[in-house]
Structure formats: C-alpha cells, structure tokens
Amino acid sequence: MKDILIKNANVVSPADNINGKYDILVKDGKIAEIGSGLNTYGDADIIDADRLYAVPGLVDMHVHLRDPGQTEKEDIISGCKAAAASGVTSLLAMPNTSPTVDNAETVKYILNKSENADAHVYVAASITKGLKSEEPTELEELKKAGAIALTDDGRPVENTRFLSNAMKKAPKLNMRVVAHCEDLYLADGGKINEGEVSEKLCVKGIPASAEDCGTAREIALAAALNVPVHICHVSTKTSVALIRDAKNRGVKVTAETAPHYFSLTERELLKEDADYRMNPPLRTISDVDEIINGLLDGTLDAIATDHAPHTTQEKSDFVKAPNGSIGMETSLAVGITCLVKPGLMTFEKLIEKMSVNPAKILGIEAGTLSTGAPADIALVDLDEVWTVDENKLHGKSKNTPFKGRQLCGKVKKTILGGRIVFDDK
C-alpha cells in the first residue's frame, strides 16, 4: 500500500480539536502525522487539497443494505460504493433482510462479504426472531458472531418484555440497542403523515402520536432500567421534546434524525411520488423546525440516513409502494445546504453529528484523525454546487427524495484505511 500525503487541506477533526490548514501523512493505512510542510520520503500519492476540507470519514449508523435476500435493490458491495461516494467510511447495517439477521450465520455472512468492500460494515442484529416479536434471539450468540447493535428496525419490538431484556443485556455485551419507535396500533397501516395532505389526497395517515408513544416507551424503559437506548430516525416535535426532557433528567438516551426530516415536509407528497414515502413519514414545517432546534441544542446527537433502497418498479405505485428512500449520497450535501450555508450550524458541528457522535454511540474506532488512527478520511468541497441526478448515483436503486435538487457541498475523495475508494474526477 502506497503512502498518501494530503497537502494544504482545511483539516476539521472535532474529536482532536483540530481546525486549520495542515498536511496529513498516511502510512500503512493509518494517520502518521498532521502538520505543516510535511514531506514523504519514497513512493507516495500526493493529493493537493488546497480548496478542500479533510474530515474523519462519516459514520452512517442507519443503513439498509438489503443483503442477503433482496439484492435486486442493493447489496453489500454496491451499498458500500454508495457509501464511499458519500464520504461514509463506516456504516451500521440493519437486520430486516431475507433471512433476518437473527442468527450467527447471517451475521458472519455480512461480515465476510464486506471484508473487501469500500466501507467498514458493522452489523445490527435483531432482538426477536424474524422481527415478529414472538421469540427472542440469542443475544450472546449474535455478539460472538460479530454484531455490535440490536434492533428490530423496520418494525418496533412489539413485545415490551423482549425489548426490556435486550436493553438490560446489551450493556453487559458491549452492544447498543437502537430503537425503531412506533406504536403499530396507532399507525394502523397508514402511508403518509396524518394531516392536511393525507386528507387532501384521501390517503390513510400515520399520526405523529404513533412515533411519540413509541419514543416515550423506550425512554421509560431506559429510565427505569438505568441503561442506554438510542432512538432512531426522529421526525416529530413531540419526540424531540420527550428526548430533551429525558436528557435533562439524566436518562441515558441518544437520538438520531435523517436529512429529509430537517429539509422536507409532508407537502412533497402532493406530487404523489412514492420516493417521498418513508417511515416515519415526512411531517409538518413545525416538526422540521423543531428537528433543527434539536440538532442545534444537542437533543439530537446524530444525523443518519435510513438509506432504504427499492426498485423503480416497486416505487411506481404511490399508495402500494414500500416505505423508504436512499440517502447516503446526498446526506452531507443536504446538511451543508440546509444547516451550514444558512449559518445555523458550523461545519465542525455537522461533522460531530455525522462522524464523531455516531462512532461514540456505537463504540467503534472511527470519527477521529488522531495519530495512529485508521486513515478513514473524506475530502470535501464545501462550495461546489451540483444537481442530484438519480441516474448517476452509485447504488443500485434510484429512490431519492432529493432528485433534481440543487445542493451545495460535494465529496471529492474518500480514503478507507489508506486506500482511495472514491475519486470524483
């Protein structure tokens, strides 16, 4: 593996208190040195990063790779190519595959297939077998196989006793429960946010209370058991308030939201385009405003994507289509466009939300450019303006809610363990 010398980059690494113009020397796949006027003696790739920002590789803690069993939508290799094009060097793969990631063999399959992929893949295994909330999985077996997190994402864990037992066991196994919060009785098969748009389109809605009641349950368990829980894809103002209150009371709760929840509203559904249908659904402008407030005041710790690929055929029927949208290749640019450029958030804080904090929550070696750390680096042009063309994205599916939108900020190169895995030439 050749050495890499990145010259004259604007280095932003919040975990290391670095924010300035420096060179970065990469040797043997690790950060060897950060400083001014660095030189490499021998064969090396020199990268002139004079106009670029160098940040620790992003950590997307909510990704559906669809592998095994649904590889017409995405697979581990194609999903990691999309990650590389996004500056994402580490991701957490969700368990709602076919078969479900509820056994050691499937965990090992994912880890083995991802060994030479263009991103580090971490595995979230399910809490119940087949995501059915009828029988708990063998958590110790899943941990031994290599899983680092537990969730029935795609669905909530309906059986609260199974969820409680998993939350009690997870800290002892050095795992994190990441919770899909939804009351399925309140959701009742709805398709979009319940409100003005659902009424206008005569489409069954999902009330915000479905998410809020789920969030309240998980917080209550974390408080009662005095154990951590991570709340996935927060979309409502009430859930933000519940999490803020819980944090103020010392409950061990962390939370994420996704770019579409701080940039889009339910009015996008008036297009009757299923690419704008996801679960939880797009909400109201007041929800969007409070999601942004939650990011700014620290209530929401992380930005993840809930990257959920589906085929064009599946998404062709607005009402019958499955929920989900892809998001990795637009995530950083949406953050820059909607949060950094308007002056709401510094770029450094955005990197905390997209790299440092997710790495801390998951307990993985990422989110830093410290000497000796793996050389997982994204080089970003903060000022490049580009239009999202779904046909030029790197994953298999095209179901992005940002298609045709002009965004600011572009990943130019991604380095994974000292290997250049993406180059936007």
**Encoded amino acid at 96, one letter:** N
d(CA 122, CA 317): 33
Q: Which one of 212, 306, 376, 381 is the catalytic residue?
A: 306
Nearest partner of 339 among 351, 327, 329, judged by Cα: 351
Give the span between the Cα atoms of 269 and 204, in whole angstroms: 13
75-91 burial, b if ≥16 CB within 10 A, otherwise e? bbbbbbbbbbbbbbbbb
Tokens 């996935």 sit on residue: 232
Q: Which residues contact 165 (CB under 8 A, 6 or more apart)?
A: 136
Asked about 306 being catalytic, the answer comes back as: yes
SS3 per-residue string spanning the chain: CCEEEEEEEEEEEHHHCEEEEEEEEEECCEEEEEECCCCCCCCEEEEECCCCEEEECEEEEEECCCCCCCCCCCCHHHHHHHHHHCCEEEEEECCCCCCCCCCHHHHHHHHHHCCCCCCEEEEEECCEHHHCCCCECCHHHHHHHCCCEECCCCCCCCCHHHHHHHHHHHHHHCCEEEECCCCHHHHCCCCEECCHHHHHHCCCEECHHHHHHHHHHHHHHHHHHCCCEEECCCCCHHHHHHHHHHHHCCCCEEEEECHHHCCCCHHHHHHCCHHHCCCCCCCCHHHHHHHHHHHHHCCCCEECCCECCCCCCHHHCCCCCCCCECCHHHHHHHHHHHHHCCCCCCHHHHHHHHHHHHHHHHCCCCCCCCCCCECCEEEEEEEEEEECCHHHCCCCCCCCCCCCCEEEEEEEEEEECCEEEEECC
Active site residues: 306
